[in-house]
Amino acid sequence: MIAWIPNVVAFIVMFAVGGKTLAHVPITGSVPVTVSSIMSFGSALGVTVVSWSTIAPDYGIFHDAKASSMRIFIYAYLGFFVSSVVHMIGAAFTAAADYVPSWDEGLGGTGNVGGLFAAILAPSGGFGKFLLVLIALTTPSAIAPTMYTVCTSFMTVASIFSRIPRCVFAVISTAILIPVGIIGASHFYATFVQILSKIISQVP
């Protein structure tokens, strides 16, 4: 429930120390924007929003039948909107990296997001490094709903699985994810692009 707080603080600090740089970055980049790149980014945003719908019934909040339809709509819309804004903020800093040598060095040629964060937060000194640690620690929280879904889904595959405690599935899933994460760490960007491309191709 509170894992988002360090990320919000980090973005505020990033704007505080890097906002002036963003303001002076040319709107048009050195490389012309193509329709395919715009569609790819839009599809990435769409995928992250659409993927939420599959777990909404399981994690959604119960609303009274007399609750205002407009209020429920606003809640759902804000959930989509806020998550999309975070994507666009990340895109803005990444696009600006071409014009800031330290940011570009941090980002590297493989899309090192952590390196970009470190470069942007570098002027804030030790506090920036502390924020990096917190951001790294909050990352696993994003997989918690997925892990829960894996556990409950296995229990519906066959009746024999329903007799196995959920924690067993969680342990097995974690045991699989750790080596995959270690291997993927050195090829994160390429692996992420491949996975994202696969997900996007499955969305009608």
Q: 5, 2, 12: which is closest to 124 by C-alpha?
A: 12
**pLDDT for 56:** 63
Residues 6+ apart with CB under 8 A from 170: 147, 150, 151
| In contact, 114 and 10? CB cutoff 8 Å | no
User: What is the Cα–Cα distance from 79 to 158, expressed in whole angstroms?
Assistant: 34
The pLDDT assigned to 77 comes to 83
Residues of the chain with confidence (pLDDT) below 70: 1, 27-31, 51-63, 110, 185, 187-189, 191-193, 196-204
- The predicted-structure confidence for 30-44, as pLDDT tens digits, reads as follows 667 778 777 877 777
Which helix (H) or strand (E) segment holds residue 103: the answer is helix 101-107
Please compute, for residue 187, the number of CA atoms within 13 A of its CA located in the half-sphere on the CB side. 8
- Residues 106-129: tens digit of each pLDDT: 888 767 788 888 999 988 888 988
Q: Which residues contact 46 (CB under 8 A, 6 or more apart)?
A: 203
Q: What pLDDT score was predicted for residue 62?
A: 67
Q: Round the CA-based radius of gyration of the chain to a whole number and report it.
A: 20
Terminal CA-CA length for the chain? 32
pLDDT of residue 61: 63
